[in-house]
Chains A and B, each alone.
Chain A
Amino acid sequence: MSAPVTVPHGVPDGADRPGVDVARASRHRGRVREARLVTGLSVALVVLAAVGLTLGDAAVPLSGILDTVLGRADVLTQFVVVELRLPRLLTALVVGAALGLSGALFQSIVRNPLASPDIIGITQSASAAGVVGVVVLGISGLALTGLVLAGSLVAAVAIYLLAWRGGVAGYRLVLIGIGVAALCMSVVSWVLTTSDVRDAQAALVWITGSLARSDWSTLNPLLVCFAVLVPLTAFLAPRLRSLELGDDAAAALGIRVERSRLLLILVAVGLAGSAVAVVGPVAFVALVAAPIARRTLGDGRLALVPAALVGALLVLGSDLVAQFAIPDVTLPVGVVTGIVGAPYLLWLLVRTNRSGRGG
């Protein structure tokens, strides 16, 4: 494994065929790059999380965090860290990871960098279901989560069927998704304009994406979804690596293309939907996470784990900025991610237009 990685085509070291060392070294280098990125992102997450736990109305020093971890902090510190701040922090992490992963999956399934759940109508349909749930039905918690998930799944199936023409082509799916997104946003507007002002206010905070209401009761259903969907993603990842090469190439490699694509879409919708159900549609995280991860790696690997970590880092960092950047003003996290993400979307559209590659 630890063969020197300086051999373009030297003498095979212990390899019986020419080039085995090259193939092995190349694969090894790719893994090392990804492992380095994952380590770097993890360290950044831990640092940011630790800092985040110390910030707030009741200042807790870093040593207090350590004490809490070791179970020897006083009751007040324990309460502030574990009951008040930890759920919000974990929600930010899991939501970010879920959105990052969902975006990475969609972009690879559709083979288009525009195909993230917040562009192709998944997030919007979740918003519509959420607003209907909050304003019209007056539900919250697990019921709301279920409704939002159901709403996004229905929309995803509708988009898939509308885009179907003996198979699903990427560009058609994106365009139909944009149409469905517009439809869902008009549902949101309609519900908001016809509802009571206070309900509308609550719903508005929710659809901007906010972590302010997160506690253990909202976190738990999210954790369950995440725990089911992440192993499924790992299971489907090899198929996705083949699907990336085009439908025909994937089929030639022994993939059942449409079935695999549908499964992958359902998993990606589940990830995005469960995140949106808890915190509302946090804008642009799903769109930018995977491209950031891949650009940093720069070798075209699928890079699902780095994408998830970038997503987590984005949401966690944005939430800290949203809470503490402007004294006495707390913004919804979605405002900050929007400020980060919107310029990227514009850049992507401009570049796509110029290169005429259709994304």
Chain B
Amino acid sequence: MTDHPETPGGAPEASDAVGHRADARTAGTHTLAADHVSLAYDERRVVEDLSLTIAAGKITSIVGSNGCGKSTLLRGLARLLKPVGGAVLLGGEDIRTLPTKQVATTLGLLPQSPVAPDGITVADLVGRGRYPHQGWFRRWTAGDDEAVADALASTGTLDLAERSVDELSGGQRQRVWIAMALAQRTDLLLLDEPTTFLDIAHQIDVLDLLVDLNESRGTTVVMVLHDLDMACRYSDRLVAMRDGRVHAEGAPGDVVDARMVREVFGLDSLVVPDPITGTPTLVPMGRHHRG
């Protein structure tokens, strides 16, 4: 397992066809699946007997109400949480039987709240994403420089390389963290609420960036998102979770309607087509505004 050459032009062919296994072959990337996975914190079971195949080369968003287990599922998929039942399969093999450093060359994760050491420069932080590619006694190679440069360039943070992460804006900082995950050069990228704490312009900015990555490198993107509208607009596939189980799964247009929103979020709403993209958009109703 050495450096992966980027998969060129792995852009998903425009198709609404609900993810078939065929995708995995055409995109030529690693497959990730949950096979009857149960996840728990201490005694409390959060995810229960969940099976899911992540469509390779696509963007998948996991949505659901607070506490439905979506972040837990993502941590389970990223091997940060050991399943109490079932297994997460990477390329068909139980992810926990694979050397964790080797997994890190295939699967990257941007956690919800990573920590930037005081005063660290952008280039240094992004460089730390190279860890899985380096040997026992860390040796820096020209390939590492290239990966860092690529990551900086594709996230538009090249000009920030020398800056201290502390002094960046929230949006810039999130780009830098994504760059760190990109420097890892993985086929699969998992992100836990990458747009939280960002204003609307920066949210769009980060999501656009993820689409760029998906289209130019064929990176499989899996993210937990709070905002259903954004999830519909930016994902090829949607996984709606409820009480630790998959409630609905498929292309946003097929999955999202008023009934699904009521069942998953417990909210009455009107679902209308997004005037720009045609994807479903939520118009929520509260107790006071029911039209």
Contacts and interface: CB of A to CB of B under 8 A. Distances in A.
Interface of A: 8-9, 15, 17-24, 26-27, 29-30, 108, 111, 166, 234-235, 237-238, 241-242, 244-246, 248-249, 251-256, 294, 298-301
Given A23-B161, A108-B117, A248-B111, 19 more contacts: A22-B123, A22-B149, A23-B123, A26-B123, A166-B42, A235-B137, A237-B138, A238-B134, A245-B116, A245-B128, A245-B180, A248-B114, A251-B78, A254-B102, A299-B124, A300-B120, A300-B164, A300-B165, A301-B124
Contacts of B208: none
B113 interface: yes
B127 A27 contact: yes
A237 B136 CA distance: 10
B25 interface: no
A27 B118 contact: no
Interface in B11-28: none
Nearest to A250: B131
A245 B165 CA distance: 12
B186 to A, nearest CB: 9
B132 interface: yes
Chief secondary structure at chain B's binding surface: mixed
Contacts of B105: 254
Interface stretch (B152-160, B198-206, B253-261): B152-160
Interface stretch (B52-60, B140-148, B215-223): B140-148
Contacts of A24: 145
A18 B120 contact: no
Given A23-B161, A238-B138, A246 B150 contact: no
Interface in B102-135: 102-105, 107-121, 123-125, 127-129, 131-132, 134
Given A19-B152, A241-B131, A248-B111, A254 B123 contact: no
Report the contact-size class of chain B (Cβ under 8 Å from the partner): 35 or more
Given A166-B42, A254-B102, A254-B104, A300 B119 contact: yes
A240 B140 CA distance: 16
Determine which residue in B111, B137, B140, B145 has the highest number of CB atoms from chain A within 10 A of its CB, and name it. B145
B184 interface: yes
Contacts of A19: 149-150, 152-153, 158, 161
A252 B123 CA distance: 19
B64 to A, nearest CB: 20
B115 A254 contact: no
Nearest to A256: B100
Given A245-B114, A294-B119, A253 B124 contact: no
B80 interface: yes
Contact of A244 (B41, B117, B132): B117
A294 B118 contact: yes
A27 B145 contact: yes
Residue of A23, A234, A254 with most partner-chain B CB within 10 A: A23
B149 A20 contact: yes
Contacts of A23: 123, 127, 145-146, 148-149, 152, 161
